[in-house]
Amino acid sequence: MPMWSGASAVTALALVLSLVMSLLWSQSAQARSLPDFTELVEDNSGAVVNISTTSAPTRGSGGAYPGLPFDERQFEQLPEFFQDFFRGPQSPFGNSPGRSEPRRSMGSGFIVSSDGYVLTNNHVIEGADEIVVRLSDRRELPARLVGTDPRSDMAVLKIEDGDDLPVVKVGRSQNLKVGEWVLAIGSPFGFDYTVTAGIVSALGRSLPTENYVPFIQTDVAINPGNSGGPLFNLDGEVIGINSQIYTRSGGFMGVSFAIPIDDAMNVFRQIRDQGSVARGWLGVLIQEVNRDLAESFGLKRPRGALIAEVMSGSPAEAAGLQSGDIVLAYDEDPVELSSDLPPMVGRTPVGETAELTVLREGREMTLDVEIGKLPEPGEQLASAPSGSTNGPASAPLGLRVEPLPAELAGSTDLKAGVLVSEVGPGPAREAGIRPQDVITEIHRKPVDSVAAFGRVIDELPADRAVSVRIVRQGRAIYLVMKP
């Protein structure tokens, strides 16, 4: 059995102690590297408000839960504890399912000026007859609705008796980076001044409900009642407004979305100064450029926004933009995804000129476009191609086409193209072409008649993917076909 000398034992003990101290120091340093939110919360809670609204009762809601920020399905999926809480007399909404009483709802907001302007979400105050703002010192003050912007889900309130109120410090969302810490203050489920933290998960998210807001995605725990509350960075600056969550249960699932403060402040200033919001408008329908489309248009990699349709009378038409153009840059800012383009256009003041870099027939070119005003929802947006049609024909792509019926042309703005009457096995079916689609272009060549369709098909290359522009249910899209 080996024996250690006294000196060796001391050396070994010192080494062990050194390793233990190193481990403890590492854990302590790691703990110190995690953010401490206490000072941030203390400095900013005073400018965060709870917003409660009251609106006239509605009858015949078909099983909805008046006053609660959920629909019936979401309510039933909540844990039993929360269902009992909201049904009971202690509910912060003062209402229980099925009762015909004034509807009450609750959300969050924050003060951006000492004279009492408050930002929140439109869905928090929508339909409200009375709005009351409660401050952290428990004062309850009536608020007036200054204006709303449903497109961005924003609303601006004014505290009527506001004077020298605490305000948040507004930051710049354009400086955000994925992975940085953020913190939310709000009233989830009516629990006032709840603080939750997380990181920025992604930037520039486009949601199906809104293409003009490049949402900030976070993993901050956001629940009903957090809506309209501020999202802070570690410098104590507001960089977003908590607005939406992705959920299958009615509660938090790790995916939350916030309106960037740069966009929110632009909306706020327009509502405060003009009473409404005007957004820039280009007048095109766009789609994503995938790998196959990139190949068919001669791009080395997928990028840009593919213009599927140019609307009649739009700024895009006046500037000479065409369907099949791929927008690669907007005012020298690269357009990597199609979802990048709408916010860029929307932020441009109406009447200003923007420079677009587009790819057309394999070469880049620049076009100047005078940006118009985005039409209000419900206003008609029309497009009108032109051309003529001929008799029926079939082709070796697995589909049969026929002239565009007069009744179809009369009921839509389509004036050119061929109607797909049958689709069998072959490249057309694999590309996603369906019966009743209208083909207006193949391989960047117009198809305005059955005869033209036949000529274009005869000239198709056999060794590469080709683009096919179709109109389906009134909307133009590009598909990729591989003969």
How far apart CA 122 and CA 150 sit, in angstroms, is 6
Give 202's strand partners: 217
Q: Are residues 151 and 176 in the same domain?
A: no
Whether residue 83 is contained in a domain is answered as yes
Output the pLDDT for position 69. Answer: 53
Output the pLDDT for position 100. Answer: 56
Q: Are residues 219 and 301 in the same domain?
A: no
- Number of domains, the chain: 4
CATH number reported for the structural domain that contains residue 445 in this entry: 2.30.42.10
Determine whether 153 is an active site residue.
yes
Output the pLDDT for position 246. Answer: 85
Q: Are residues 128 and 104 in the same domain?
A: yes
How far apart CA 196 and CA 186 sit, in angstroms, is 9
* Cβ contact 194:233 at 8 Å: no
How far apart CA 50 and CA 268 sit, in angstroms, is 19
Locate 5 and state its tokens: 């000398």
Q: Are residues 155 and 48 in the same domain?
A: yes
Output the pLDDT for position 16. Answer: 66
Q: Are residues 241 and 298 in the same domain?
A: no
| Amino acid at site 63 | G
* Cβ contact 93:106 at 8 Å: yes
DSSP codes joined into one string, 5-54 = -HHHHHHHHHHHHHHHHHHHHHHHHHHHHS---HHHHHHHGGGEEEEEEE
Whether residue 316 is contained in a domain is answered as yes
* Cβ contact 448:389 at 8 Å: yes
Q: Are residues 264 and 295 in the same domain?
A: no
Output the pLDDT for position 132. Answer: 93
* Cβ contact 110:140 at 8 Å: no
**Which of 105, 128, 159 finishes a domain?**
159
Angle value at C-alpha 331, between 325 and 332, nearest 5 degrees: 90
* Cβ contact 297:480 at 8 Å: no
Catalytic residue among 149, 153, 262, 292: 153
Query: Following CA atoms 283, 284, 288, 294 in sequence, which dihedral angle do they give, to the nearest 10 degrees?
Result: -130
Whether residue 13 is contained in a domain is answered as no
Q: Are residues 238 and 291 in the same domain?
A: no
Strand 237-245 relative to strand 169-170, pairing: parallel
Which uninterrupted H or E stretch holds 364?
Answer: strand 363-370
Domain hosting residue 235, numbered range: 170-274
Residue 131, burial from CB neighbour count under 10 angstroms (0-12, 13-18, 19+): buried
Determine whether 467 is an active site residue.
no
Locate 233 and state its tokens: 């960075």
How many Cα atoms occupy the beta-carbon half-sphere of 258 within 13 Å? Answer: 36
How far apart CA 187 and CA 192 sit, in angstroms, is 4
Q: Are residues 212 and 254 in the same domain?
A: yes
Locate 130 and state its tokens: 């009375």
CATH number reported for the structural domain that contains residue 85 in this entry: 2.40.10.10
Output the pLDDT for position 66. Answer: 47
Output the pLDDT for position 269. Answer: 94
How far apart CA 446 and CA 456 sit, in angstroms, is 8
Output the pLDDT for position 13. Answer: 64
Whether residue 262 is contained in a domain is answered as yes
Q: Are residues 56 and 154 in the same domain?
A: yes
Strand 256-260 relative to strand 210-218, pairing: antiparallel
Question: Which positions of the chain have pLDDT values less than 70?
Answer: 1-14, 16, 20, 22-33, 57-101, 209, 377-396, 407-413, 415, 463
Whether residue 431 is contained in a domain is answered as yes
Catalytic residue among 108, 152, 227, 383: 227
Scanning the structure block, which residue is given the tokens 């490049």? 214
Output the pLDDT for position 402. Answer: 82
Whether residue 348 is contained in a domain is answered as yes
Output the pLDDT for position 390. Answer: 39
Output the pLDDT for position 400. Answer: 81
Q: Are residues 289 and 317 in the same domain?
A: yes
Which uninterrupted H or E stretch holds 196?
Answer: strand 194-207
**What is the value of pTM for the model shown?**
0.69
**Which of 159, 182, 198 finishes a domain?**
159
**What string of H, E and C letters represents the secondary structure of 118-165?**
EEEEHHHHCCCCEEEEECCCCCEEEEEEEEEECCCCEEEEEECCCCCC
**Which of 247, 274, 301 finishes a domain?**
274
Q: Are residues 50 and 150 in the same domain?
A: yes
DSSP codes joined into one string, 218-246 = E-S---TT-TT-EEE-TTSEEEEEEEEE-
* Cβ contact 308:289 at 8 Å: no
Whether residue 21 is contained in a domain is answered as no
Scanning the structure block, which residue is given the tokens 């995916």? 255
Catalytic residue among 123, 152, 256, 292: 123
Radius of gyration of the chain (CA): 29
Output the pLDDT for position 73. Answer: 53
Whether residue 2 is contained in a domain is answered as no
Angle value at C-alpha 316, between 313 and 320, nearest 5 degrees: 100
Output the pLDDT for position 111. Answer: 94
| Amino acid at site 64 | A
Q: Are residues 365 and 434 in the same domain?
A: no
Angle value at C-alpha 194, between 192 and 200, nearest 5 degrees: 140
Scanning the structure block, which residue is given the tokens 């003990």? 13
Angle value at C-alpha 276, between 272 and 278, nearest 5 degrees: 115
Determine whether 227 is an active site residue.
yes
